[in-house]
Amino acid sequence: MFENLTAKLQETFDRLGKRGKLTDQDIDTALRQVRLALLEADVNYKVVKEFIARVKERALGAQVMHSLTPAQQVIKIVHEELIATLGEAAPLDLSGPSPNVIMLVGLQGSGKTTMAAKLALRLRKSGQRPLLVAADTYRPAAITQLETLGRQIDITVHSEGTQTPPLQICLNAIQRAREGAYTVVLLDTAGRLQIDEQMMNEVHEIRQRIRPIEVLLIADAMTGQEAVNVADAFNKRVGLTGIILTKIDGDARGGAAISIRQVTGVPIKFLGTGEKVGDLEPFHPDRLASRILGMGDMLTLIEKAQTEFDQEQAAQTAQKMIEGTFNLEDFLNQLQQIKRLGPLGKVLEMIPGLSQYTGQLSEQVTDEQFKMIEAIIQSMTREERRNPKVINASRKRRIARGSGHTVQEVNQLLNQFRQMQHMMKQLTGGGGKHTRRNLFSLFQ
């Protein structure tokens, strides 16, 4: 989402870094480029103006002018002011008496119904017992969609069709939650193609009668500044406690994420990062600012790995690497765990120093290549996976036919695997016990 913005900011800071000492003119030129990059990313012009003014005031001070690394000081200031613009992290408030009611509002097409399921799944993983409520009586497909999602993730959905008024459905659902010991109620209210008085009156009435602890706007990041305008309108009429930005994985220019807190005063609570029900990240301003500036986001990557990776299997794999018994079966298992982290491009963006090479690396190691490797290894027998040395010319032809690839591609994979084994032996053999212990600790 921030690819173009990140590239332009890095280009500006690279030019700045080539100067040993900065002048007022150097800083003015750099900030002019930063301003243009933000405006092209569809950041609200008032937000850009205030942001540049704050950075300039700090950058022209002694802090930068007398620094041994002035360019790094400017980047540090931009990073800190970007965090200030994005606002503070704001986790969900679940401090009220059970059941806590969370009301989801937004326009049609913003991903509200899918987000209800994502949020329910996340809450269940944190120890809550959520109840989903289909309160969109204007769009029968929304009720069906929520019921289908509920079955997929094994979470109960309360629905009463399209004839019962939405407010009554919500009241009935809360009563059911009390009787059924549900701890959180998620209300999926109706959306419209545009903001209208009827829509606002309905969500306002539900809010007044139900008094939810959280009122979350689901805003489509792909709509840019329109998402900011929608958030502002909902906040003034209904009163929001938080915003969830969806479709962050799309090709939007990112301006909504940077502008929305500053314009509305409402915190972003989550980011929808994909179409799967598990693609939901808590909003961390410092981590997003680091991603925008090309510094990576290792904390989010580590958290995802801890959630998705089988820790016991990872420890066993590390031990096999140390012992020199790592085989193609282990390689396939590791590959499948890496795939759970999401598209390769996203993973690379989170690694500091690699974000600027994401396009280049993604071309070299694509998701399609992952699929090819999987297909080839899965076409092998168990003996061949565990002992690749037995794979002769006739076996290679059979593996190639079974995987739908060529013998040359099978040879390429086997050669790369042998090189990897050789590298592992060097890593674990050359450094003695200390190196082995350090390598093993990486997988804990």
Q: Which of 249, 266, 293 is the last residue of a domain?
A: 293
Segment holding 268, helix H or strand E: strand 268-272
Tell whether 355 and 400 lie within a shared domain: yes
Tell whether 28 and 175 lie within a shared domain: no
pLDDT of residue 434: 43
Note down the domain range covering 115. Answer: 100-293
Q: Which of 246, 271, 293 is the last residue of a domain?
A: 293
With b meaning 16 or more CB within 10 Å and e meaning fewer, what string describes 311-344? eeebeebbeebbeeebebebbbbeeebebebbbb
Per-residue pLDDT of the chain (444 residues; tens, 9 = 90+): 567 777 777 787 777 777 667 778 888 888 888 888 888 888 888 999 999 999 888 887 755 655 556 777 788 888 888 889 888 888 899 988 889 999 999 988 888 999 999 999 999 999 999 999 999 988 888 999 999 999 999 999 999 988 999 999 999 999 999 999 999 999 999 887 778 888 888 899 999 999 999 999 998 888 878 888 889 989 998 999 999 988 877 655 677 888 888 888 999 999 888 888 888 888 888 888 877 776 654 455 555 555 555 666 666 766 776 666 778 888 887 777 766 666 655 665 555 544 444 444 444 456 677 788 889 999 999 999 888 889 999 999 999 999 999 999 999 888 888 877 776 666 555 444 444 444 333 333
The Cα 279–Cα 12 span in angstroms is 32
Residue 225 lies in a domain: yes
Q: Which of 86, 119, 136 is the last residue of a domain?
A: 86
CA-closest candidate to residue 176, choices 190, 164, 186: 186
Tell whether 256 and 320 lie within a shared domain: no
pLDDT of residue 343: 61
Omega before 212 cis (within 30°)?
A: no
pLDDT of residue 309: 57
Tell whether 436 and 344 lie within a shared domain: yes
Residue 282 lies in a domain: yes
**188 beta partners:** 104, 134
Tell whether 246 and 330 lie within a shared domain: no
Residue 129 lies in a domain: yes
Tell whether 201 and 327 lie within a shared domain: no
pLDDT of residue 135: 92
> What are the DSSP calls for 172-196, one per residue?
HHHHHHHHTT-SEEEEEE---SS--
pLDDT of residue 436: 40
pLDDT of residue 297: 47
Tell whether 307 and 429 lie within a shared domain: yes
At residue 126, the 3 state secondary structure works out as coil
**Tally of domains in the chain:** 3
Segment holding 282, helix H or strand E: strand 280-282
